[in-house]
Chain A
Amino acid sequence: AQSVTQLGSHVSVSEGALVLLRCNYSSSVPPYLFWYVQYPNQGLQLLLKYTSAATLVKGINGFEAEFKKSETSFHLTKPSAHMSDAAEYFCAVSDLGRALTFGSGTRLQVQP
């Protein structure tokens, strides 16, 4: 079975500061990993995905994530936070091409 753990249910940063959202996964096979963003009362939007190509993955809105097999991690980063980045972020792992297994989410708050 695959699983995802997101450390920190709430993260608060100042505008312009580094954003770091943590995700660790457990998988018995090489994983495909995803980060999604959810704005209030909206569906999920794909930020980026790792599919066993480059370990550093660049996504939309200036986000990127690095796959580290030795640490079983796929942390999401952005060099400079913007007010519009305030949202909930979900890490997910693909389960044998069927469904996504999601972490419990991290709510990002950006302070002016």
Chain B
Amino acid sequence: NAGVMQNPRHLVRRRGQEARLRCSPMKGHSHVYWYRQLPEEGLKFMVYLQKENIIDESGMPKERFSAEFPKEGPSILRIQQVVRGDSAAYFCASSSGQSKDTEAFFGQGTRLTVV
């Protein structure tokens, strides 16, 4: 059973370009979470999705960021018109349920560098 797969592992974008980060959850998991980790900081929650639904996007910046988790295929975190401040590691986690003690499994992250 493969773990949470994120790609690409590293992504370089010029200011103003779009970044698309992909996350395939573990088999059987229908809950996906996206987190952002700025250098020397902890992970900050961005968005929580279930299949075809955004459950909680309270951590998402109001502009330029969007996320989806379609019925088929991976979850996508999309950043439009990237700026240098978007440079960070973006982690995806998946779980099988919504209870508080359900373990979330993390991917290895996508490291976005905006030049």
Contact = CB atoms under 8 A, between A and B. Distances in A.
A101 B109 CA distance: 18
Interface residues of B, number: 27
Contacts of B33: 99-100
Contacts of B107: 43
Interface stretch (B13-21, B40-48, B62-70, B74-82): B40-48
B103 interface: yes
Interface in A24-61: 32, 36, 41-46, 49, 51
Contacts of B102: 97
Size band of the interface chain A makes with B: 20 to 34
A99 B101 contact: no
Interface stretch (A14-22, A64-72, A73-81, A102-110): A102-110
A98 B56 contact: yes
A97 B42 contact: no
Interface string A80-97: 000000000010001111
A90 B56 CA distance: 22
Interface of B: 4, 33, 35, 41-45, 48, 55-56, 59, 91, 93, 98-109, 111
5 closest A-B pairs by beta carbon, nearest first, are A51-B101, A43-B106, A102-B42, A99-B45, A32-B100
